[in-house]
Amino acid sequence: MKNLFRLMLVQCFLLAFPGGVKSQIATDAIDKLVANALKTFDVPGIAVGIVKDGQLIFAKGYGLRSLATGKPMDEHTLFGIASNTKAFTATSLGILVDEGKLKWDDKVIDYIPEFRLYNPYVTQDFTIRDLLTHRSGMGLGAGDLMIWPDGSDFTRTDIIHNLRYLKQVSPFRAKYDYDNNLYIVAGEIVAKVAGMPWEEFVQKRILQPLEMKESATSFVRLKDTSNVIAAHGEVNGKVQVIERSKGELMDAAGGIYSNVSDLSKWVIMHLNKGNYGQDKKNRLISPRSHQDLWTPQTLMSVDTYPPYNSHFAAYGLGFRLSDVKGYMEVSHTGGLAGMVTQITMYPELNLGIIVLTNQQVGAAFTAIANQIKDSYLGVSGIDWVKLLSDRIKQSEENAANVTGKVWQEIQKQSSAATKPDLQLLTGTYRDPWFGDIFIDLKDGKLTIRAKRSPGLTGELIFYQGQTFVAKWNDRSMDADAFVLFQTGYDGKPSGIKMKPISPNTDFSFDFQDLDFTRVTDSK
């Protein structure tokens, strides 16, 4: 009787969906989970999708698309999926491999002769596979200031040319350091081999066959923008609508807009190893090429959190790979200004979890995806919302302690009797790949402005010694930076070095990779 009672309890807990497929977590439990995440992490809107055994068994939007309009979310609300796009780029190349038009280990310079990296040996040996696996030897996010924040005037030709100036920080193929710009190069390989832009290839060869009719390869290519989220971020302690990234420069690395309804078709195709459509008789990519996508290429650090007993973590081709409770986990995340997303798949469970959010706090999608995942893995006793909330609070306290000390010193220096001669610092400073910045003095205030990326404009405030702080006008970026003026033998400013102040600054603000030389004095 006791076992029968337990079985009845389990059956009550499982929620039946059309087609007889069941979710391990009931609808009201997901509703409560997401409501808790919305409130705890101050996220305006979240969409959740669950794919199981070839069907979309759960799809729902929660909260608001935009705090400005107050319009509600649903399963068709479109988000920028950001770096989840990288899997589409890798899959595109896999399609071309199937057609015999290229090989994973073809040299990049055979397709893009002007491609150069800092080390000539690396340039000569760099393959298409290397473009996709974050093992170039360049540092984390190296060169991202050419694409981040949105609004720069760099072109893809500029990016390919400027890669040669980014110094390696580790041996080639020895270490994982996440990279966006090499995926832009990968998109150009697709364009050259296919004879059409990456955007058109993905639309024609992936989105259309999978009937992802509401999706597009960039925001500006959406046919209908009536149900699209607004980007949100924290500005001076309050979450509000911020400017959306709209440029197409980084489409192959993070441009696609989609929703949980459409993305379920993408997930179902991958869980069926490239097959899709009625009875899964159509094929998008061959089993061999699909296996390549999900084969470890670059080792990553392992999250040893006890419940999952993970033994390895690696990056494949456009996907992160790990083991959790004896099952393979295939996943990726994505982040643009004001929106972050996650797609996770478990091939042996024929399970996929999609979580899309319109705020830039990754803990929200992690908490939701992990709680749903735990219900399928038989893991219990973890409140992921609380656990990650506590971690964020600790991280924010640490960051506030760091930045607080800096601003305390600035306040102290503001009343000091001796202050630097600001006029001596003005002029034009040039970095080989980022271009010029202008240091100007107006109404007694020193300002900094990047010529090619006007989003990086702000006030320069004296800190100590020869160091100032760049306080950016766009307060949603959370990326204030140290600006160190270097002097020549004559005692005059000769160059500038920079680095982020807060340990929580997004890695794409790679100020540490800049090396400015003064080229002109102020007029």
Q: Retrieve residue 160's tokens.
A: 């390919």
Confidence (pLDDT) at 11: 32
pLDDT of residue 2: 35
Spatial CB neighbours of 412, under 8 Å, sequence gap ≥ 6: none
| Fold classified for 402-521 | Lipocalin (2.40.128)
The amino acid at residue 105 is D
Q: Are 61 and 227 in contact (CB under 8 A)?
A: no
Distance CA 427, CA 449 (A): 11
Q: Name which of 12, 80, 15, 79 is nearest 52 in CA terms.
A: 15
Strand pairing class (445-450; 339-346): unpaired
pLDDT digits (tens, 9 = 90+) for 197-219: 999 999 999 999 999 999 999 99
The Cα–Cα gap between 125 and 239 comes to 46
CA distance 106 to 94: 13
Q: Residue 504: exposed, middle, or buried by beta-carbon count in 10 A (0-12, 13-18, 19+)?
A: middle
Element spanning 93, H or E: helix 86-98
CATH of domain 2-137+172-382: 3.40.710.10
Asked whether 335 and 83 are in contact (CB, 8 A), the reply is: yes
- Residue among 277, 260, 463, 245 at smallest CA distance from 372: 260
Q: Structure tokens of 496?
A: 């500038």
Q: What's the token pair of residue 59?
A: 């799809």
Task: Measure the CA angle with vertex 228, ends 223 and 231; round to 5°.
Answer: 130
pLDDT in tens, 243-302: 998 889 999 999 999 999 999 999 999 999 999 998 889 999 999 999 999 999 999 999
Cα 428 from chain centroid (whole Å):
32
Q: What is the 3-state secondary structure (H, E, C) of 137-205?
A: CECCCCCHHHCCCCCCCCCHHHHHHHHHHCCECCCCCCCCCCCCHHHHHHHHHHHHHHCCCHHHHHHHH
Q: At a CB cut-off of 8 Å and minimum separation 6, what does 125 contact?
A: 107, 172
- Tell me the pLDDT of the chain (523 aa) as tens digits: 333 323 323 333 333 333 334 468 899 999 999 999 999 999 999 999 999 999 999 999 999 999 999 999 999 999 999 999 999 999 999 999 999 999 999 999 999 999 999 999 999 999 999 999 999 999 999 999 999 998 899 999 999 999 999 999 999 999 999 999 999 999 999 999 999 999 999 999 999 999 999 999 999 999 999 999 999 999 999 999 999 988 899 999 999 999 999 999 999 999 999 999 988 899 999 999 999 999 999 999 997 777 899 999 999 999 999 999 999 999 999 999 999 999 999 999 999 999 999 999 999 999 999 999 999 999 999 999 999 999 999 999 999 999 999 999 999 998 887 889 999 999 999 999 999 999 999 999 999 999 999 999 999 999 999 999 999 999 999 999 999 999 999 889 999 999 999 999 999 999 999 999 999 876 4
On whether the pTM is more than 0.95, the answer is no
Residue 43's pLDDT is what?
A: 98
Domain residue ranges in the chain? 2-137+172-382, 402-521
Q: Which phi and psi (to 5°) does residue 140 adopt?
A: -55, 120
Token digits of residue 186:
């990968």
Instruction: Give bridge partners of residue 400 from the DSSP assignment.
Output: none
CA distance 420 to 308: 55
Cα pseudo-dihedral 368, 370, 371, 372, rounded to 10: 90
Cα separation, 357 vs 233, in Å, equals 11
Q: Is-same-fold flag (2-137+172-382; 402-521)? A: no
